[in-house]
Structure 1
Amino acid sequence: MPPRRVITGRSQEPRQRFAEELRLLRAAKGDSLRELGEKVGWDWSLFGKMENSHTLGSPEVVQALDQYYGTPGLLLALWELAMADPTQFKERYRRYMVLEAEAVSMWQYAPSVVPGLLQTPDYALELLSMGGLAGDELGAQVEARMGRREALLREDPPQFRAILSEAVLRTPLENVEEWRTQLEHLDMMGHRLNVVVQVLPLSSGLHGLPNTDTMFLRGSGGQTVVWAETAYSGDLVQETREVEQLQLRYDRVRDLALSPDKSRQFIERMLEEAPCEPLT
């Protein structure tokens, strides 16, 4: 099949094409970034980041730009293509890993699995293998995940709060002893001065983060970003308004959770209830 002929001369990479279109449309209007921000009603610095491919923005922002430029649906379609590009997930995750390593404070809600920073090697191995990894790649991913835990153990560690849905603690590993080791590790980490572990009982009912694993990262400069992940995708949220909305949902989840002391007691009861030998 002959290669596709490029007609417009514009970028064929979805994210770059989206940013390029934003720059061209603004230039045609003759607006500065500050003028654009004033006319559209959003922080002008966000538009600069979007035009430099540092962020894709939110659909609300893109729809506002479509309306302002008189291009109904065009920018939103380009945004959707950029978001769907599989290479973007890897880029966002790499950026997240850098921010996690530099964070001075982290807080997370885990709806279904033990947070990576609190996993034991056996837990990580079973979880990652269930996701389809095997062989050398599986071993490398487990090793990388264990390396992330070291941040919580260093001399000047970040503060970390993890809220675990009770469902996390009701979903054991196949091997009973490995599951007991994971519960013991959670109990031990919850006693560290820089780590708070809380349990959200199922009896608490519905809340605003039912199936979204969220990790908030605060850097030394005070800026907070969020990594929001489902079973199939993840997104790095950096826009202030969206971060604040997720923070409000997290705060409400924290209000429903057991206190740190009662959460430790909950985990210790789980240890007492866990069988000592594999079931036959």
Structure 2
Amino acid sequence: MPTRRAVTGRSREPRARFAEELRRLRAQRGESLRQLGDRLGWDWSLFGKMESGETLGGPEVVEALDQHYGTPGLLLALWELAINDQTQFRERYRRYMELEAKATSLWHFAVSVLPGLLQTPGYAGEVLAAGGSKGLDLEQQVQARMSRRSLLEGDDAPPFRTILSEAVLRTPLRDAREWRKQLEYLMGAADRGNVTVQVLPFRAGPYGLDGTDVWFLRLPGGHPVAYSENAYRGELIEEDRTVERLQRAYDAVRDLALPPAESRKFVLRMLEEVPCDPTN
């Protein structure tokens, strides 16, 4: 078997690095996607999806690309890194979900999207679709997200606090009716005894969690863990010093946020701005 080349490159995220190398090699050859598909015997759209990061393809396709481009083992090594990275992401998220179900209290900060525990089906659907989900996969993900909401319901539901950057409430859905439903649901959730909603206004200025959605869970026995995420990946954080550092940043953001009563008025103002009849 040929010796693999060293895996080095510009993008640090494995999936992006793999797609980047595919685009670079094809451009170097001066081939179109259709030409590449004709020469290798696969539908050209598959290569387009691989180069955009929408899919990773299978090992047989990647091996054929390695042979075609004269890069023995390089693309396969990058593909394996991307596959393993996705597997690790799913495993971290699965473990987070297990811990969330056991948590005695939860607190959260949102940069641009409402927390899944407070989303309506319409909101979840539009957000997940924007992330690339579609068809049956989209329906299943929406159903799974809606099932999580039961965590905050019932007499023994844990306390939950979310701090929403103003940007979350300034980013409406395309469907105004669904946006109204979402804001109404958020208002109703904030009236529950175990749910606290605060808004971090733009005027608060820079803050320590800028660009970071983060969840904190307090587990039975009092041990806290954190989970940070962006649009493409998440990280479960269990190391005490890192969790403590994130907690201090969260506490500073909480000091800058509007009190719950003022936050409720802020959400109400956002709701009043939504047309009652979006067709007019």
Please list the CA deviations of residues 207-256 of structure 1 after superposition, one character each: whole Å capped at 9, or x if unmatched: 00111100000111111000001222210000000000000000000000
Shift of 1:133: 0.6
Q: State the distance in 2 between where 1:279 and 1:257 align.
A: 35
AA of the residue aligned to 2:221: G
Q: 2:245 maps to what in 1?
A: 245
How far apart are residue 271 of structure 1 and its match? 1.1
Q: Displacement of 1:154 after TM fit?
A: 2.2
1:1-280 equivalent positions in 2, closer than 5 A? 85-278=85-278
Deviation at 1:3, TM superposition (A): 9.5
Q: Deviations over 1:132-173 (max 9, x none)?
A: 111111111000000000010122001000000000000001
TM-score where L is the length of structure 1: 0.70
Give the AA of the match of 1:165: S
Q: Provide Cα deviations, 1:106-149, integer angstroms capped at 9, x if missing partner.
A: 00000100110000000000000111111111111000000000
State the secondary structure of the residue aligned to 2:139: helix
Q: Are the aligned partners of 2:209 and 2:249 in contact in 1 as well (CA < 8 Å)?
A: yes
Q: Which amino acid aligns with 1:148?
A: R
| CA-CA distance at 1:272 after TM superposition | 1.1
How many Å separate the matches in 2 of 1:269 and 1:205?
21
How many residue pairs match? The answer is 204
The percent identity for this pair of structures is: 59
1:85 is paired with a residue of what secondary structure? helix
Q: Which amino acid aligns with 2:90?
A: K
Partners of 2:264 and 2:206 lie apart in 1 by: 23
1:277, CA displacement in angstroms? 2.5
Residues 22-62 of structure 1: per-residue CA shift (max 9 Å, x gap): xxxxxxxxxxxxxxxxxxxxxxxxxxxxxxxxxxxxxxxxx
Letter matched to residue 147 of structure 2: G
Unaligned runs of 5+ in 1: 6-80
Taking the aligned partners of 1:213 and 1:153, their CA distance within structure 2 comes to 23
- The alpha-carbon distance between structure 1 residues 3 and 143, as it changes in their structure 2 partners (threshold 3 A), is farther
Which stretches of structure 1, 4 residues or longer, exceed 4 Å deviation after superposition? 2-5
Query: Secondary structure at the residue paired with 1:236?
Result: strand
Q: How far did 1:190 drift?
A: 0.5
Query: Following the alignment from structure 1 to structure 2, what is the Cα–Cα distance between the partners of residues 156 and 147?
Result: 17
Q: Name stretches of at least 5 consecutive residues in structure 2 with no aligned partner.
A: 5-80
Counterpart Cα distance in 1 of 2:227 and 2:245: 13
Contact 2:165–2:202 at 8 Å: present in 1 too? yes
TM-score when scaled to structure 2?
0.70
Structure 2: how far apart are the matches of 1:202 and 1:182? 21
